[in-house]
Structure 1
C-alpha cells in the first residue's frame, strides 16, 4: 500500500489505546496508565482523524472544542492536538494529508474562525498556515538574590488541596479569562485535566500543591506548584516549580509571588508559562536575576478570515485593504477591507479596491493575538506596504495593551 492509499478516517472511542501508544512512541514518553486515563477523559473521538495501515494506527491528529481569549473577545477555536505519525511512516506526505483535511473540515463546519496549537517542531506547522502568535516567558530565579516589596496586602493566603480549592480556582480563572489573551475555556472536564496529579509527570517533585489568596470580597488569586528537594554543601537547595499563578489585582500578585519565593528549604523558583509582560519583572529589585528566557507558545491559524478579523477587537481605528493569499483555504484568498471604529469593533468584507498591504494567511495568524507587530514582519519581507502610512496605522491597530499568556499546554 502506498502512502496515498492509506485511508484517513474519523476516530472511534475504541481507538484510544492504539492512539496513546502511537503518541508515546512519537514523543518518547514512557507508558503510564494514569496519564492515559487523564488524556482520554478530554479526548473527542468525533474530532479525531486516524491513519490506519494494515490494521495498525500509524498517524493521528485531533482537536478539542474550546474557546480562546483573543484581543477584546472570546472566540471558539479548534485546539489542535495529539498529532503524530509513526516513525515507519514519516516523510510520505501523511501528516500533510491529515492536516489539510482537518483544516478543511474546521472551515466547512463554520463554528471556529481560528485554530490554535502548540508546536512540537516549529518549522512543521508553518507549512499549514500557522503563525507563531504568542511567546512565553521562562524564569529561573535564585530566590536569595531577589527581593520583593514588603508592602502589606489586604488579603490572606490559605493553603488548600486541589480538590478543596477547585471552586475558588475556577472563580478566579473565569473572572480573569475574558481579559487574558491566550487563555482557553475550562469546563469541569478541563479542570479535572488541569488539576490531575499524574505521578509520571512529577519527575521527582512533590504532588501538586495550591494556595488561594482570599479577600473580604472572595478569592482574588491562586497559585499551583510543586517543590523538589535538594541539598548541596551549603545546605538546602530546593526548587519551587510553578505551574500556574492567577492574580486579579496587584495585591494578589505580590502576595502570591512573595509566598512562592519564601517556601522553606528552597532556593530557586522556576516558571515556564509566564507572559512576556509578567508583572513579577517590575516587582523585584533586580530583574536581571530572574534568569529570563523566551520560548514558543501558541500558534494561530486563521480559518475563516472575515469572521476571525471581525471577531477580535483592535487598539486603534483603521481602514485598510488587505490582499491575502491562502493556498489551502481558498475562500480566504482575495482583497478584504478591514474597518475598525473608535470602540475597536471591526467589520471585514470583500472588496475590489486597491490593496494597502499584502501578506499570506500565516502573517495574519502571527499578528492575531496582538503580540507580534506587522511592521516587524514587513521588515522581514513578509508583509508588503502599497500605500504609504498603511503599515504604521495597521501595526498600531493590531496591537493590544497586554501580551498574550500561553498558560497551559493542551
Structure 2
C-alpha cells in the first residue's frame, strides 16, 4: 500500500541519507551512520514521506510560515527537500507526494505553497510558476565607500537570542514586497544564524540603541570573497552605513557579493556604477493551494469593482479545477463556485502569478496564458490585480 505520512523519529537518519544523495556532491556524501560528518540534523521543518509498504520511496520537508500577499498575511507552506532514490524514480511517487501534501495543506488551512525549483519546467507541470526574480551584485569593496559619516551609530555583532530585533528590521525592509516571510524563532535560529557549512557572521548597525539594519554573510578566504546572503534595513541611512561596513573589508577581501531584490538602489548610490556587476536570476515559484480561500482573503484596490466568472484549470487538485464567480467591491471580494460560463480562463500557475503581483492580466493575455472574452473583463482583472514588487528572500 502506498501512503503519505510523517517520517517517524527513528527514520530521520534515513530521510537525511536520501536528502544527501539527492542534494550533495558525491565527494561530500553523508552516510546515515556517519554521525561525525552530519551537516544538518533533519529536524528543522516537518518531514514527510511516501511509503510503499514499509519502504521509504519519496521525501519532502515543509516549513509552515506566514507571508504577505496583497497587504494581507496568509499561511504559506514552503516546500523543500523533494527527493526520490534512483531505483524508485519514474513510478509516479512524486505525483503522489504532491497530491498528498496539497491535501494536507488544505486541511491545515494553508492556502499558498512556495518552493525553489531545481527544474522550473518540472514544477510548472504541477502548477508552480515563477513568483519573482532576484539580483546578485558583485563589486570590489572600495566601490561601496559611499559614505564615511558615522552619524552617531555603531556596528554590533548579533547573536541568535537577539532574533526579535532583527525581525523588526526585516519587517520594515520587506514591507514593500509581496511574499515577505514572517520567520519563526526556529527559522531565525536554525536557518539565519546557522548554515550547513560554516555558520555566517551577523552584524548590524544601531543608533541610540535601536537596530536599524543588519547583514548576514560569510567570508570565503580562498576566493577573497565576502558573500552577503541577506541585507535588511529600515531606512536609507542604515543602508549607507551597512555599505560602509562592507567597504572596510577592503584589506581582507577583493570582492563583495550581495543578493537582494531587483529594485535595490545600489547602482545609483555608488560613484562608479560600472564597478557593480549585476546578474538577475529566477527566484522562487508559487502555487495557490486553495483558490477560493486566497481570492476571498486578500485585499483589493478600493476603486476596483465588478463581477466576473474565472475559469481555473488545475490538473492536480479538483477543488481548484472549477469556475469561480468573483465579486469585487470596496477592497474585498466574495467568491463562490459556479456553473456559469467563464468570462476569463487561465491555469493555476498563471493565476498564482497574477495574485501575488508578479504578472498582470494584460501580460498573461498577450502571452496566450489567459483567455479573456471582452475588454471589460480584462480591465477588471487589471484593476483588481495590479502589479507589485515580489521578493521571497528565504531559501528552503
Which string of whole-angstrom CA distances, capped at 9 and with x for unpartnered residues, describes residues 221-274 of structure 1?
A: 1111112235xxxxxx822100211111111122212322342322311123x1
**Aligned pair in 2 of structure 1 residues 284, 52: CA closer, same or farther (>3 Å)?**
farther
Which of residues 214, 231, 236 in structure 2 aligns to 1:222?
Answer: 214
Which stretch shows the higher mean deviation, 301-310 or 330-339? 330-339
Return the alpha-carbon distance in structure 1 between the equivalents of residues 368 and 164 of structure 2: 48
Q: Which residue of 2 is the match for residue 65 of structure 1?
A: 64
Which string of whole-angstrom CA distances, capped at 9 and with x for unpartnered residues, describes residues 171-204 of structure 1?
A: 3234555654223222221111123444x524xx
**Aligned pair in 2 of structure 1 residues 409, 387: CA closer, same or farther (>3 Å)?**
same
TM-score, length of structure 2 as denominator length: 0.87
Which stretch shows the higher mean deviation, 311-320 or 357-366? 311-320
Return the alpha-carbon distance in structure 2 between the equivalents of residues 185 and 37 of structure 1: 26
Alignment of 1:377-392 (within 5 A): 377-392=364-379
CA contact (8 A) 1:165 1:210 kept: no
Which of residues 204, 210, 220 in structure 2 aligns to 1:212?
Answer: 204
**Aligned pair in 2 of structure 1 residues 298, 259: CA closer, same or farther (>3 Å)?**
same
CA contact (8 A) 1:156 1:215 kept: yes
Which stretch shows the higher mean deviation, 13-22 or 146-155? 146-155
Q: Which residue of 1 is the match for residue 184 of structure 2?
A: 187
Alignment of 1:336-347 (within 5 A): 336-342=324-330, 344-347=331-334
Q: Tell me whether 1:257 sits opposite 2:255 in the alignment.
A: no
CA contact (8 A) 1:155 1:252 kept: no
Return the alpha-carbon distance in structure 1 between the equivalents of residues 206 and 269 of structure 2: 21
Which stretch shows the higher mean deviation, 184-193 or 279-288? 279-288
Specify the SS of the correspondent of 1:22: helix
Return the alpha-carbon distance in structure 2 between the equivalents of residues 318 and 141 of structure 1: 48
Q: Give the count of matched residue pairs.
A: 387
Q: Which residue of 1 is the match for residue 268 of structure 2?
A: 282
**Aligned pair in 2 of structure 1 residues 87, 252: CA closer, same or farther (>3 Å)?**
same
Q: Tell me whether 1:173 sits opposite 2:170 in the alignment.
A: yes
Specify the SS of the correspondent of 1:404: coil
Return the alpha-carbon distance in structure 1 between the equivalents of residues 347 and 85 of structure 2: 31
Q: Which residue of 2 is the match for residue 92 of structure 1?
A: 91
Gaps of 5+ in 1: 231-236
**Aligned pair in 2 of structure 1 residues 284, 310: CA closer, same or farther (>3 Å)?**
farther
C-alpha RMSD over aligned residues: 2.8
Return the alpha-carbon distance in structure 2 between the equivalents of residues 153 and 347 of structure 1: 52
Specify the SS of the correspondent of 1:21: helix
**Aligned pair in 2 of structure 1 residues 143, 377: CA closer, same or farther (>3 Å)?**
farther
Which string of whole-angstrom CA distances, capped at 9 and with x for unpartnered residues, describes residues 69-127 of structure 1?
A: 222011011111221111122112111121112212322x0511111111111111112
**Aligned pair in 2 of structure 1 residues 169, 267: CA closer, same or farther (>3 Å)?**
same
Gaps of 5+ in 2: none
Which of residues 365, 368, 381 in structure 1 aligns to 2:355?
Answer: 368
CA contact (8 A) 2:163 2:185 kept: no
Q: Tell me whether 1:349 sits opposite 2:348 in the alignment.
A: no
CA contact (8 A) 1:52 1:59 kept: no
CA contact (8 A) 2:312 2:321 kept: yes
> CA shift at 1:311, angstroms?
2.1
> CA shift at 1:18, angstroms?
0.3
Q: Tell me whether 1:158 sits opposite 2:162 in the alignment.
A: no
Q: Tell me whether 1:49 sits opposite 2:46 in the alignment.
A: no
> CA shift at 1:210, angstroms?
2.2
> CA shift at 1:280, angstroms?
2.1
Q: Which residue of 2 is the match for residue 137 of structure 1?
A: 135
Specify the SS of the correspondent of 1:324: strand
> CA shift at 1:283, angstroms?
2.3
Q: Tell me whether 1:324 sits opposite 2:312 in the alignment.
A: yes
Return the alpha-carbon distance in structure 2 between the equivalents of residues 226 and 105 of structure 1: 37
> CA shift at 1:17, angstroms?
0.5
Q: Tell me whether 1:17 sits opposite 2:13 in the alignment.
A: yes
**Aligned pair in 2 of structure 1 residues 392, 270: CA closer, same or farther (>3 Å)?**
farther
CA contact (8 A) 1:300 1:368 kept: no
TM-score, length of structure 1 as denominator length: 0.84
Which stretch shows the higher mean deviation, 83-92 or 348-357? 348-357
**Aligned pair in 2 of structure 1 residues 387, 8: CA closer, same or farther (>3 Å)?**
same
**Aligned pair in 2 of structure 1 residues 250, 188: CA closer, same or farther (>3 Å)?**
same
Return the alpha-carbon distance in structure 2 between the equivalents of residues 383 and 186 of structure 1: 34
Q: Tell me whether 1:127 sits opposite 2:151 in the alignment.
A: no
Q: Tell me whether 1:405 sits opposite 2:371 in the alignment.
A: no
Which stretch shows the higher mean deviation, 150-159 or 293-302? 150-159
